[in-house]
């Protein structure tokens, strides 16, 4: 593109858009620059291409700015992926995987303990598109072979399971699925892409809600889809392009900042969560603590085999005499644990699920999920104790 000619003084309205003034370069900083933009400019027409693969350089903001693509590259490096695509939220990332791998007439398998909106997506939108999503028991392992059909296009795993914290035998499911030519996707948000090595355990697609641990401060919405190979790159990339899913560079910038403290936050969150969970096992009000790192938690042996650490979120089941109203009273008596959905940030959260039906013996209405934050462990324990006394 031709440069503006020096010495020509354009009208001030034109100068608002076209300026000769530029800051001196280079400027080096520890922070990744924030690049916003939709239109990408080309010096030559021969360089202009509308290509989501960005093979010849940047082409359009929908396919990512340097900020967005750096986040994807950093997540891919962290997970050992062929490539990572960034989506505008965790559920958007899940939807992208379905639409990349399933067509009308396809069958998909989803664990019964999956993230609620994933299940709702199967029951509602995907069913209307002619895609059947069938539930399976999370402890099924290699037994999933009995539910694989000729038209099965995708198998989801989620380990630990959302709210109820079951651990799946992901390697066994992956081996069984691959024997039938079926790809496996994993919601790997709990592990932040690092506590469970998805691709080493046979997964084809790893999804994260970057909203949680990588963002780390409850102030952004992002998702990631990491793929193991070139086939996944083409399928997910094409679907992302055609759906027009665009992530905010501002949110990507915050996520890049969050990644720098991920290690120290995960270490602290693990230690505090284990301290609080262990204390809760001694409380007379508590029937069961669902934390996979505890030896008496169902699935602990699989967790010990496959995971390198635990995270901040776990659940408790209160004693049978605890009515839903009493559970609510306990939660509302908490001061440091605030009521709110999501997890993975610096603040401790609590939430009950009175309509949860997948736990045996009517335990669902007595289940409460806790997300431990970065507060002092003894303060959190004192808060839980005073709420028990008041309830």
Rounded distance, CA 373 to CA 368, Å?
16
Q: Where are the beta strands (DSSP E) in 283-356?
A: 286-290, 313-318, 338-339, 349-352
* CATH topology for the 262-390 domain: 3.90.1150
Q: What values do phi and psi take at 286, rounded to 5?
A: -105, 125
Q: What percent of the chain has pLDDT over 90?
A: 81
pLDDT tens digits along 350-387? 999 988 878 777 888 999 999 999 999 999 999 999 99
- State the burial class of residue 68 (Cβ atoms within 10 Å of its Cβ: 0-12, 13-18, 19+): buried
pLDDT tens digits along 231-274? 999 999 999 999 999 999 999 999 999 999 999 999 999 999 99
pLDDT tens digits along 4-34? 777 788 898 888 888 877 777 788 888 888 9
Rounded distance, CA 110 to CA 108, Å?
7
Q: What percent of the chain has pLDDT over 70?
A: 99
pLDDT in the model for residue 346 = 97
Domain spans of the chain, in order of start: 65-260, 262-390
pLDDT band at 213 (very low <50, low <70, confident <90, very high): very high
Asked if residue 123 lies in contact with residue 132, where contact means CB atoms within 8 angstroms, the answer is no
For the domain covering 65-260, report its CATH number: 3.40.640.10
HSE-up of residue 265 (Cα within 13 Å, Cβ side): 23
Q: At residue 105, does pLDDT exceed 90?
A: yes
Q: At residue 97, does pLDDT exceed 80?
A: yes
């Amino acid at each position: 593109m031709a440069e503006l000619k020096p010495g020509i003084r354009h009208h001030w309205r034109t100068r608002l858009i076209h300026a000769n003034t530029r800051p001196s370069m280079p400027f080096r900083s520890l922070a990744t620059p924030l690049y916003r933009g939709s239109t990408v400019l080309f010096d030559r027409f021969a360089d202009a291409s509308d290509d989501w693969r960005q093979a010849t350089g940047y082409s359009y903001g929908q396919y990512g700015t340097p900020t967005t693509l750096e986040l994807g590259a950093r997540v891919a490096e962290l997970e050992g992926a062929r490539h990572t695509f960034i989506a505008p939220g965790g559920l958007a990332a899940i939807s992208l995987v379905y639409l990349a791998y399933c067509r009308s007439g396809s069958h998909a398998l989803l664990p019964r303990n999956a993230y609620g909106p994933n299940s709702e997506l199967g029951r509602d939108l995907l069913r209307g598109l002619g895609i059947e999503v069938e539930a399976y028991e999370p402890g099924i392992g290699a037994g999933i072979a009995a539910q694989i059909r000729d038209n099965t296009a995708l198998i989801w795993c989620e380990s630990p399971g959302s709210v109820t914290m079951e651990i799946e035998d992901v390697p066994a499911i992956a081996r069984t699925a691959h024997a039938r030519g079926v790809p496996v996707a994993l919601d790997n948000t709990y592990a932040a892409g690092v506590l469970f090595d998805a691709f080493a355990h046979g997964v084809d697609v790893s999804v994260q809600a970057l909203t949680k641990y990588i963002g780390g401060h409850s102030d952004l919405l992002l998702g990631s889809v990491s793929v193991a190979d070139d086939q996944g790159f083409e399928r997910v990339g094409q679907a992302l392009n055609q759906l027009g899913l665009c992530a905010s560079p501002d949110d990507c910038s915050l996520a890049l900042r969050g990644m720098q403290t991920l290690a120290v936050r995960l270490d602290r969150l693990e230690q505090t969560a284990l301290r609080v969970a262990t204390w809760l096992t001694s409380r007379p009000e508590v029937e069961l603590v669902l934390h996979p790192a505890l030896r008496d938690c169902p699935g602990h042996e699989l967790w010990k085999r496959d995971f390198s650490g635990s995270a901040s979120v776990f659940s408790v089941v209160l004693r049978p005499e605890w009515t839903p109203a009493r559970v609510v009273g306990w939660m509302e008596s908490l001061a440091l644990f605030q009521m709110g959905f999501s997890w993975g940030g610096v603040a401790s959260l609590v939430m009950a699920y009175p309509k949860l039906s997948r736990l045996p013996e009517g335990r669902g209405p007595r289940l409460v999920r806790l997300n431990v934050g970065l507060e002092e462990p003894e303060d959190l324990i004192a808060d839980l104790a005073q709420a028990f006394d008041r309830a």
